[in-house]
Amino acid sequence: MAASMKIVIACINPGKVGSRQLAMFLSSHGKSSHYCFQLMKCTDRDCKYCTNNPVHNVTMYEKLSFLPEPTPDTSGAHYLPFKEVYGKPLTVDKFRPSARSTDFDDEAVEQDKKNREILKAPKARDVVRCAECRKPRVVYSPSKTDREQDALLRRMKEENLYVCGDPMADDSGLVTLRASNCTSDVEIAYYSSGFSKVVPPVCCYCGTEDELLDDNHVYIQDMYTKFSKVRPLCKLCHGNGRVAKTWGKKCIKKRRM
């Protein structure tokens, strides 16, 4: 963008931008990922933003592309050189370490098996948000947290020290789910009857507290006719085709014809 065009961006997620015009601008002129946000001019003569300071060298402009994200080669041990990925479709966090698939390492899986009696809803004590994806992750403990544990959790929250899947300090007496990453949904324990009274409702997929569908929404009302519990779902995830997570299917008697 030209230096003379000053644009203030308050939110880089087009789906959560309050202004419809700004959302449309970001959708057509921007690309965003976890670590990068980019804007590029367009050559549309009807664009009221870019016509204020239009592209002067169209030939040069057509050679430009959004900057690529690091992309590993076929071996997975090295990254492809810039010239091989420039101009290619963006991978959009596909190769981000904390957003990898659910193929968790053996150590994490074994640790969760070892702690399976602790990783239960009645032993959920607090929540820490991931420093990268900002999803809330439940912290468990065999007994109620003491003053020292509360101080540790408070410091983790203030300094954003936790990332999905990270282990807690061995001598802390606290446990988190290890087989987890930034693509994992919010844990079931977060919505348990006792715990949900002390934590804010969040979307079961992305973990946001904003723009949740309320109980009066037609879709949510329909879900409640079929299930006794419906976990929170935000407008963005619903708009992207996500289905509400439910529990306790109701037995609906069929009327005789």
Tokens coding 82: 């810039």
User: pTM of the prediction?
Assistant: 0.63
Write the CB contacts of 215 (distance below 8 Å, at least 6 apart in sequence). 221, 224
Give me the residue label for tokens 């193929």.
Answer: 103
Whether 53 and 4 have beta carbons less than 8 Å apart is answered as yes
Q: What is the pLDDT of residue 99?
A: 59
The mean pLDDT of 217-222, rounded to a whole number, is 94
Residue 257 reports pLDDT greater than 60: no
Q: How confident is the model at residue 12 (pLDDT cuts 50, 70, 90)?
A: very low
pLDDT per residue over 49-107, tens digit each?
888 888 889 899 888 988 888 888 888 778 889 999 898 887 766 776 655 555 677 88
**C-alpha separations of 113 from 40, 179, 212 in Å:** 48, 10, 33
Q: Nearest Cα to 131, choosing from 151, 155, 159? A: 159
What does the alpha-carbon distance between residue 84 and residue 252 come to, in Å, rounded to a whole number? 58
Reduced to 3 states (helix: H, G, I; strand: E, B; else coil), residue 72 is strand
Q: What is the pLDDT of residue 102?
A: 58
